[in-house]
Structure 1
Amino acid sequence: MARTRAFDTEAAVRKAMELFWSRGYEATSVRDLTRHLGLGQGSLYAAFGDKDGLYRAALEYYRSSLAADALSSLEQGTDARAVIRAMLVERIRIAVGEGGRGCLAVNAVCERLPEDAATRRTVRDMQDASRNALAEVLGAAAARGEITTRHDPYTLAGFLVTFLNGLLVSSKITPDAPGLEPLVEVALTALD
């Protein structure tokens, strides 16, 4: 008879996400994970296959929680500039937290590529979702006359996603929100 899992898988993935986010993939050992999660190595392997499987689960959790929250904030606002500013500033605040841990997705790309095609796909899917959501908001804002129509909304969204990626890398180098936030204002001039 198969044993039932005696732990909360979602809680384990959330804790693993936090550990990977603060330490990185390479610096986090299976031993670190089992200690942090309070699981035996056999339970970890049975649930996730291996460290890579748990890492991918952590990235998916990140995408479905924090990244999804950022996208939903875009859909709720009517003033595109204010909503985009708030989203970018919030991403800075999260990235500089805990001494400059950055963004789990951007960290994953910087640390794991080109070796890990699954990580690349996951992060690319996140970026595509962000770009598409931003393009939709920007297209609607352009139709309302709130922002310029000189740029294609999809291209403008691509610029903002690229800017955000650079900003998130910078947040690891210089975890200083007051120093990074004025850059958001410069990027928003692309909407004029």
Structure 2
Amino acid sequence: MARPRAFDVDRAVDQAMEVFWRQGYSATSLSDLTSALGIGSGSLYAAFGSKEELYARSLARYKSRHAAELAVHLESADEVRPALRAALTAMAESDLCDPERGCMLVKAATEGATAHSAGEQVSTTLRLVESAIAAALERAKARGELTADKDPAELARLFTTFIQGLRVMGGARAGRKFLESAITAVMRSLD
């Protein structure tokens, strides 16, 4: 008879997400994970299969919390421009407050997450962000917030790419003035 788990799997994924987020996949050892989760390696493997599978679950959790949060924020906004600017500003603030932590998705993409199963999580999350922005811009266009010549899908690709660059520059300690200037410049694309 198998022994019941003595730990909360959801909480363990949250804890693992924090470790991977701060350190990245490659720099996170099995010892780092077992220490943070308070479990042995056997329990980690029994619950998650491998470090790679735990990382993929951590990225899925990141997506469900952070990318989905952006989608909800944009969907519930009365006006898209201020909502989009507020979201970009919040991302910049996050990086200014803790540049070491940065963006888990950027870390995953830049350290070669496509080399393991997490690559699909990165692609899926980026598509979710792009889709959320495109939908918000479509609504903005329908309400007359964007001129008829603006292509919401094209702008969504621009903003999705910009977000990744913004997070990289925030992690590189570009500074508040630089990040605010960049946000102002990209927002002009909606004019």
Evaluate the alpha carbon distance shift between residue 102 and residue 148 of structure 1 in structure 2; reply closer, same or farther with a 3 A threshold.
Answer: farther
Corresponding pairs, count: 191
Q: CA deviation at 1:135?
A: 0.9
Contact persistence 2:99–2:173 (CA under 8 A): no
Deviates more, 1:96-105 or 1:128-137: 96-105
Give the conservation status (yes or no) of the 8 Å contact 1:141–1:147.
yes
Letter in 1 for 2:153: Y
Q: Provide TM-score, normalisation by structure 2.
A: 0.94
The alignment partner of 1:105 has SS state of helix
Tell me the residue number matched to 2:188: 189
Match of 2:88 in 1: 88
Taking the aligned partners of 2:135 and 2:37, their CA distance within structure 1 comes to 39
CA distance in 1, matches of 2:23, 2:138: 38
In 2, Cα distance between equivalents of 1:81 and 1:39: 46
Structure 2 gaps, min length 5: none
Contact 2:114 2:120 (C-alpha < 8 Å) held by counterparts: no
| 1:103–1:70 CA distance, 2 compared to 1 (3 A) | same
Matched residues in 2 for 1:56 and 1:96: separation? 27
Q: Which whole-Å CA distance do the structure 2 matches of 1:177 and 1:11 have between them? A: 34
Q: Which residue of 1 aligns with 2:102?
A: 102
Contact 2:16 2:58 in 1 (8 A): yes
* 8 Å CA contact 2:13, 2:57 repeated in 1: yes
Q: TM-score, normalised by structure 1?
A: 0.93
Q: Structure 1 vs Structure 2: percent identity of aligned residues? A: 40
CA offsets 1:52-106 (integer angstroms, 9 cap, x no match): 1111111011011122112110111011100100111112222333333221011
